[in-house]
Structure 1
Amino acid sequence: MFGDFPVLVRGGGDIGTGVVMRLHRAGFPVIVCELDPPLTVRRQVAVSTAVTEGVTEVEDLEAVRVEVREATEVAAGGRIPVVVGESLPDLDVTVVVDARLAKRNIDTSIEDAPLVVGLGPGFTAGEDCHAVVETMRGHTLGRVYWEGTALPDTGQPGVVRGRGGERVLRAPARGLVHWSTEIGELVAEGEVLGHIVSPQGRFPITSPFTGLVRGQIAERALVAEGYKVGDVDPRTDLEDVHLVSDKALSVGGGVLEAVLVHLGRVRAGSAPEGPQG
């Protein structure tokens, strides 16, 4: 039904993958653009993993790294092509979604496509994009704004079972990441999960509480001090690490809503603006 309306998603991390999943299941051909190497933490549920692995599967999605010239054909065939690049690839698409979650607008323009959607803070609907989708947990998560901005960045992740900012693992120093645990492992409070290795020594990364390792940045990634390198989840269902999250699917649902509103209004001959909230 929507095969003539290709979508480009910039950023194939876990939230971007929720967007890809919603659009793909609704029948849209979806292309992803990602960095090499990607800086994704929840790699088990991210199509960006195809950049380093060549091919990856997330639930019913099969993502494959391709060249830009191959992307349209691969998407039409039902797979998720992942192309590499820091800038907007030269592709003829109907929709561009900035899912990089940089908390600021890096280079996205409202002129990038007939519909441009920004995720989270850093975008202003009607100025640098047509629509903004809320990414903060709470009653407004996944809502579509056709005017204005998403809620400002608090610098802290949402609270899950009483755990907020402490869920995030951050680099204690600048250096290369080396893990001694894996995504999906149950770990104890204070357990050493890995180290940052630098010329100044080895600095341990420890678990802040007993829980499940939900995400880890790629082995040997070079990171700055304080950079997010992983997260631990107080929820300990082992299947969770292989399933796209409720948050990602909610945001993806907001993007799908924005796309459908846009297409409906285009077909009706009206402007792309949609209902508020």
Structure 2
Amino acid sequence: MKENFVIVRGGGDLASAVIHRLYRCGYRVLILESDAPSAIRRMVSFCEAVYDGEAFVEGVLCQRIEKAEDCEQVWKAKEIPLLVDPEGKCLSALRETGRLSALIDAIIAKRNIGTSREMAPLTIGLGPGFQAGEDVDFVVETMRGHDLGRIIEEGFAIPNTGIPGVVGGVSKERVIHSPAAGIIKNKAKIADLVEKGQIIAYVGETPVEATITGVLRGIIRDGYSVWKGMKIADIDPRKEEKKNCFTISDKARCIAGSVVEILMNQGVMP
């Protein structure tokens, strides 16, 4: 008898924390991604399999597949399949199998870009942009603070403020946005210790400087075409936390736990 499975839209760092937790709990997961994901924390993002064919996150392997039918082989190998299908074109056929149990929108686009309750028997949206009870069944709060991970049965998550959460006493200064449009060429790599003012990349001919001193926790993939103002890097001011570049964050683990809670309370078991 073939087992049921869960679909996760998105494979960035928050999505990957959810995927990793589901995998560790015994769920079969299929990731749906875009053809050019722009993850910053690439060392903990399964979406890197789009480019490299595979990606490891804390000992769990994700394999890119070319068609939905290839899922079974990857699941049998105790791995996670990723399919490039940003519009969810495969969903109709997968629903007809009767095995699709739930769909989680973990794109973190700060708006709903196409998820509806009709897509799966149970739908969950992470962060702002979704209305619980309308376009999805449940919403999980993603804003750092007292309500992080709160399960919302009616209504919305906190609207996007545009201000990053505080890490090591630093908020917006730790996040770097592109000063220009163009192709990025990285000069520093993830986990490097960088000094304020140090050039960590170029966008075209425009230098990108570190905004604070700390550990380069994330930087967008070398060669990516970025737009002016796009988030491209993240610095952790806590130099002693270098190891965190390669592990799932506390915020992401909290959100992942809430997703599992919803699934289990709704009778969606591994």
Q: Which band: TM-score by shorter chain?
A: over 0.9
Aligned residues: 259
Partner amino acid, structure 2, of 1:17: S
Deviation at 1:166, TM superposition (A): 1.1
1:105-144 CA deviation, whole Å, 9 max, x = no partner? 1100011100000000000011000000010001111111
- TM-score normalised by length of structure 1: 0.90
1:187-230 CA deviation, whole Å, 9 max, x = no partner? 01110001100xxxx11111111100011111111111000011
Aligned to 1:29: 28
Deviation at 1:4, TM superposition (A): 2.9
Partner amino acid, structure 1, of 2:19: V
1:40-63 CA deviation, whole Å, 9 max, x = no partner? 111000000111111121112101
Aligned to 1:99: 106
Aligned to 2:157: 150
Aligned to 2:4: 5
SS of residue paired to 2:117: coil
Aligned to 1:49: 48
Aligned to 2:190: 183
Moved over 3 A (4+): none
State how far apart, in whole Å, the 2-side matches of 1:100 and 1:195 are.
27
State how far apart, in whole Å, the 2-side matches of 1:42 and 1:234 are.
15
State how far apart, in whole Å, the 1-side matches of 2:75 and 2:176 are.
35
SS of residue paired to 2:124: strand
State how far apart, in whole Å, the 1-side matches of 2:253 and 2:118 are.
27
The answer (yes or no) to whether the contact 1:34–1:86 under 8 Å persists in 2 is yes
Partner amino acid, structure 2, of 1:12: G
State how far apart, in whole Å, the 1-side matches of 2:171 and 2:76 are.
40
Deviation at 1:176, TM superposition (A): 0.6
Partner amino acid, structure 2, of 1:231: D
1:20-47 CA deviation, whole Å, 9 max, x = no partner? 0111111100111111121111100000
Q: Does structure 1 residue 254 correspond to structure 2 residue 253? A: no
State how far apart, in whole Å, the 1-side matches of 2:260 and 2:165 are.
23
The answer (yes or no) to whether the contact 1:184–1:214 under 8 Å persists in 2 is yes
State how far apart, in whole Å, the 1-side matches of 2:75 and 2:258 are.
22
Q: Does structure 1 residue 240 correspond to structure 2 residue 239? A: no
Q: Does structure 1 residue 17 correspond to structure 2 residue 16? A: yes
State how far apart, in whole Å, the 2-side matches of 1:170 and 1:148 are.
31
Q: Does structure 1 residue 205 correspond to structure 2 residue 204? A: no
Deviation at 1:5, TM superposition (A): 3.1
Q: Judge which range, 88-97 or 67-76, deviates more.
A: 67-76
Deviation at 1:78, TM superposition (A): 1.7
Deviation at 1:76, TM superposition (A): 4.4
1:68-116 CA deviation, whole Å, 9 max, x = no partner? 2202442343201111022113324211000001111110001110000
The RMSD of aligned alpha carbons is: 1.4
**Counterpart pick for 1:173 among 165, 169, 180:** 180
Structure 1 unaligned regions, length at least 5: 267-277
1:156-202 CA deviation, whole Å, 9 max, x = no partner? 110112111111111101111110010010001110001100xxxx1
- TM-score normalised by length of structure 2: 0.93
Once the two structures are aligned, what percentage of the paired residues are identical?
41
Aligned to 1:275: none
Q: Judge which range, 3-12 or 19-28, deviates more.
A: 3-12
State how far apart, in whole Å, the 1-side matches of 2:171 and 2:255 are.
20
Structure 2 unaligned regions, length at least 5: none
Aligned to 1:115: 122
SS of residue paired to 2:165: coil
Q: Does structure 1 residue 134 correspond to structure 2 residue 138? A: no
State how far apart, in whole Å, the 2-side matches of 1:133 and 1:27 are.
21
